[in-house]
Amino acid sequence: MQKDEVLRLFLDPDLVPPEKRVLLSNIADLAASLNMPCYAVGGFVRDLLLGKPVNDLDIVVEGDAIKLGNKLVEIYGGRLIPHFPFRTAIWQLPSTFDLQPSTLDLITARKETYDKPGALPTVAPATIEDDLRRRDFTINAMALRLDGEGLGEILDPLKGQTDLERRVIRALHPKSLLDDPTRIFRAIRYEGRYSFQMDSSTLEQINEETLKVLHSLSGERLRHEFDLILDEERFAVMMLRVAKLGILDAIHPKMPEFNQDYADFLEMDAQLDIQADRRTMGYMLWFMELAEADVILLANRLDFTNELTLAVWAAAQLKRGLVHLTDMRPSEWTYALEKLPLLSIYAVYLVSRENSLLSYISIWRHVKPFTTGNDLKARGLPPGPRFGEILLRLRAAWLDGEIANGSQEETLLDKLLAGQPWQGA
């Protein structure tokens, strides 16, 4: 793409918000004053050339990115989180910038070698071109020069632009996915997000050897990749692709396919005031049909937090137990459901359309009697287990339609208190 065309995209406020552009210019000016050629790389360039709004800001300098970062903090504020082994840094922008995301990656151009597949790489400082060659796919291996006269020049030594036009995801070398099998997930995300296709040689890299390395990856790394898939609008297509390529089996033989019929349920209904969490919802829907022991097995494999494990486990249990609840009274539903996370109940409602679940979420769980523990005390009932029993009984009466107003509650309460040993004392 010609420089003036790139500049036109770079100046388009719908693609690069003006505040982001000004920030990039300021960083590039500072880098230039330190004699560091400065580039935007990766997803920024890919999305810009696709004419899509840019998101992450990844800056590469031929020079010391930590030194640049420290200067930026000195001038603009915020906080620098350096990673000394790679000479990279994350700059947490000062709140005055009001940008999303609120962090920016500063990278020292580097070369990488992998001592062992799946391990983290060994690095050494290098040129921008070397830095592009260490990356995953051609469409991610382009740089946009930001400083001085060079502003708007695209460095594209691996022909990423051609692959963008051909809508192809192409690994940079034959061992790319073996070196880092998380790149398989990345390729699948780009395929789904942009309707691109892996080229045949990249696809062939997803072979037995690579899947074996994938099998050895930590739960945390794998879950991070699934988290990112669940964040995507077209996640269901991606999950299907993950299954078809044998990735689920490689991670664990019990991994189920994502039920495509559940794909629409990830968008939460804002009207129900439930704390929405897209990823939690995704995992619940994914593992909903599993037996209890398998939920726990996979939650361990993917290093779920306790909270996530509980949510997924509860949804699977409730789905299974639904048949036993069908003919129950509202009070029985309520007492059974009250111990479970609300989001799990909502997930099971979405897939089952069991009306009682919705009644519980929107009405039953809020139903409480007027009478409180203090009222019982005032009426002379000595504190003890009977307190809870009476309050529970009153609540059940409301839930099951036995009483419908305050005076009916009073009458029932009188009846419950009548004949108590202390009565009339």
Residues of this chain that bind ligand CTP (CB under 6 A): 42-43, 55-56, 58, 135-136, 140, 180, 182-183, 189
Query: What's the CA gap between 311 and 313, in Å, rounded?
Result: 6
* CB closer to ligand CTP, 140 vs 334: 140
Name the residue nearer to ligand CTP (CB basis): 224 or 379.
224
Residue with tokens 């580097």: 110
* Residues in contact with 344: Cβ distance below 8 Å, sequence separation at least 6, in sequence order: 284, 311, 312, 314, 315, 318
Nearer to ligand CTP, 110 or 319 (CB): 110
Residue 198's identity, in one-letter code, is: M
Angstrom distance (rounded) from CA 47 to CA 45: 6
Residue 2: both structure tokens together: 């010609």
Residue 386: alpha-carbon gap to chain centroid? 46
Q: Shortest distance, CB of residue 123 to ligand CTP, whole angstroms?
A: 13
Cβ-based nearer residue to ligand CTP, 187 or 236: 187
Report in angstroms the alpha-carbon separations of 109 from 54, 125, 133, 299, 379.
21, 6, 11, 38, 77
Q: Beta 110-113 vs 122-125: how paired, if at all?
A: antiparallel
Q: Tell me whether residue 177 or residue 290 sits nearer to ligand CTP (CB atom).
A: 177
Min CB(282)–ligand CTP separation in Å: 17
Minimum distance of ligand CTP from residue 168's CB (angstroms): 16
Shortest separation between residue 200's beta carbon and ligand CTP, angstroms:
21
Nearer to ligand CTP, 115 or 273 (CB): 115
Which is closer to ligand CTP, CB of 1 or CB of 228?
228
Report the SS3 class of residue 230: helix
CB of 202 to ligand CTP, least distance (A): 13
| 8 Å CB contact between 109 and 61 | yes
| CA-derived radius of gyration, the chain | 29
196 in helix, strand or coil? coil
DSSP 171: B
In the complex, minimum distance from the CB of residue 232 to ligand CTP, in angstroms, rounded to a whole number: 9
Q: Residue type for 246, please?
A: G
Helix axis angle, 330-337 to 306-325, nearest 10°: 160
**Among residues 207, 150, 156, which one has the least CA distance to residue 178?**
207
CB of 405 to ligand CTP, least distance (A): 57
CB of 60 to ligand CTP, least distance (A): 10
- What is the rounded distance in angstroms from the CA atom of residue 179 to the CA atom of residue 167? 24
Instruction: Give the residue at shortest CB distance from ligand CTP.
Output: 43
d(CA 385, CA 338): 20
Name the DSSP class of 134. T
In the complex, the smallest distance separating the C-beta of residue 64 from ligand CTP, rounded to whole angstroms, is 19
Chain-centroid distance of CA 120 in Å reads 23
Q: Name which of 37, 91, 41, 25 is nearest 64 in CA terms.
A: 37
Q: Which is nearer to ligand CTP, 140 or 309 (CB)?
A: 140
Our CB check for ligand CTP shows the closer of 57 and 288 to be 57
- Taking the least distance from each CB to ligand CTP, the nearer of 140 and 344 is 140
- Rounded to the nearest whole angstrom, what is the least distance from the CB of residue 193 to ligand CTP in the complex? 8
Shorter beta-carbon distance to ligand CTP: residue 116 or 415: 116
Other Cβ atoms within 10 Å of 291 Cβ, number: 12
Sequence-ordered list of residues with C-beta below 8 angstroms from that of 41, at least 6 positions apart, any chain: 58, 59, 60, 107, 131, 132, 142, 143, 144
Q: Which amino acid is at 319?
A: K
Q: Supply the minimum distance, in Å, between the C-beta of residue 224 and ligand CTP.
A: 10
